[in-house]
Structure 1
């Protein structure tokens, strides 16, 4: 019995490596370099997504507003004037004889940057213009600062 216990102990001792092996400095450095390269590629894409999401949201809002303005026109035979503005979709203007009960929108949305959407009727790009001035709130601009209007929704 003692011989069996010694033999088992001896086998267990042989199964263990005599020298514990860890990662070498080169292996650790290779992993760090690979992670750095991945971070350099992925982080800019992730950081840019909120701005892209805001642009997509603005385009969706403009499409909804345009659809409701078209419905307003079907009922009233014309679009609201620039003076009446988009408020005509929420509150009945005096000149709207066939205004839809309950309005066309519950409330006017703000653009994703917290500013009101702009409205012109007649517009500079068609019968009407609905647009956001972009992130900077100024006319024109590039990238997320560019104006987003019903005339350039497919860009």
Structure 2
């Protein structure tokens, strides 16, 4: 019985540290994904003189869109092979033109809702 109490005490100390590290790793992954998407968007703009619109979304990096403005140059295989999901299983979002920068790329964060304090976006890159 004493052994179980000791194990319980140890777990109460260790578990929060592990949970904090998992959350930090998820946030780091989101920043890396956003940087990869931002690089693909830069290439898209270089080839087409404009970013995809909000309506076209990030899918315009993978598949040639039929929504105006239609890109003049679209490489076979797209600008990115596959769009990653954020660490919480949601798609990354695009606002173009951006509200904060030229384009805003973001994860809705752990709560899965846009516009809340846990959103992680390319506007956070300066904080890294």
TM-score under structure 2 length normalisation: 0.82
Please give the per-residue CA displacement for 1:67-105, whole angstroms capped at 9, x wherever unaligned: 000000000011001111101100012411111221011
Q: Distance in 2 between matches of 1:141 and 1:76?
A: 32
Pick one of 90, 115, 119 that aligns with 1:147. Answer: 119
Correspondent of 2:106 among 110, 120, 131: 131
C-alpha deviation, 1:107, in angstroms: 1.4
The equivalent position to 1:62 in structure 2, one of 14, 34, 37, is 34
Quick check: 101-110 or 52-61, which moved more? 101-110
1:97-143 per-residue CA deviation (whole Å, 9 max, x = no partner) reads 1112210111111111001111010011011100011000123445x
The equivalent residue for 1:90 is: 62
SS in 2 for 1:100: coil
RMSD of equivalent CA atoms: 2.0
SS at match of 2:98: coil
Equivalent position of 2:23 in the other structure: 51
Give the Cα–Cα distance (whole angstroms) in 2 for the partners of residues 39 and 116 of structure 1.
Answer: 34
Higher relative contact order (CA 8 A, sep 6+): 2
Structure of larger gyration radius:
1
- Return the match for 2:75 from 92, 97, 100: 100
Counterparts of 1:81 and 1:66, CA distance in 2: 14
SS at match of 2:112: coil
Whole-Å separation in 1 of the counterparts to 2:81 and 2:122: 21
User: What is the distance in 2 between the residues matched to 1:132 and 1:44?
Assistant: 24
Q: Distance between the aligned counterparts of 1:79 and 1:39, measured in 2?
A: 49
Relative to the length of structure 1, the TM-score reads 0.69
Q: How many residues align?
A: 119
* Structure 2: gaps (5+ residues): 1-5
